[in-house]
Amino acid sequence: MKKLLVIVTILISINSQALFLNYCMNTGNQYSSSFGFCINDNFRSIEREIDELIYLSNCDNYMSDGISSSFEFCINQNFRSIERALDYKLFLSYCYNSDQDLVDYFFVSCVNNNFRSIEREIDK
């Protein structure tokens, strides 16, 4: 029984140290508020996980269909802040949405790839 308790304690401590970020999906070519919520939720999780005091902006999209340039800029600024907080141990891509009236698949992919890179770096 004591061995089982020790094993469970070890497993809980290992799992509690891992950072799990959501995959942020945007269905279709129009902006989905759940996509923006997911991005901001991931940034909050990263803020809590990084040892250094870091402040990441809440990124709001002010367009009903596409991606506003301020939303894109905010996301990329947060990625730059994360790079600095992690002492440039990883390089994150600049995520560019090519058409403001639509949500580009490559933009969504870029954001999620950056989140995966951050997740791997923090979990080392």
Tokens of residue 41, six digits: 């939720």
Tokens of residue 29, six digits: 């070519």
Q: 3 in a domain, yes or no? A: no
Tokens of residue 36, six digits: 């923006």
d(CA 62, CA 55): 22
d(CA 79, CA 9): 34
Return mean pLDDT, the chain. 89
Residue pair 85/54 in contact (Cβ under 8 Å)? The answer is yes
Q: 71 in a domain, yes or no? A: yes
Q: 20 in a domain, yes or no? A: no
The number of folded domains in the chain is 1
Q: 22 in a domain, yes or no? A: no
Q: 93 in a domain, yes or no? A: yes
Residues 22-75 have pLDDT tens digits of 999 998 899 999 999 999 999 999 999 998 889 999 999 999 899 999 999 999
What is the residue type of 50?
A: I
Record the pTM: 0.84
Residue-range definition of the domain harbouring residue 44: 28-122
Q: 19 in a domain, yes or no? A: no
Q: Which residue in 26, 24, 57, 54 sits closest to 39, CA to CA?
A: 24
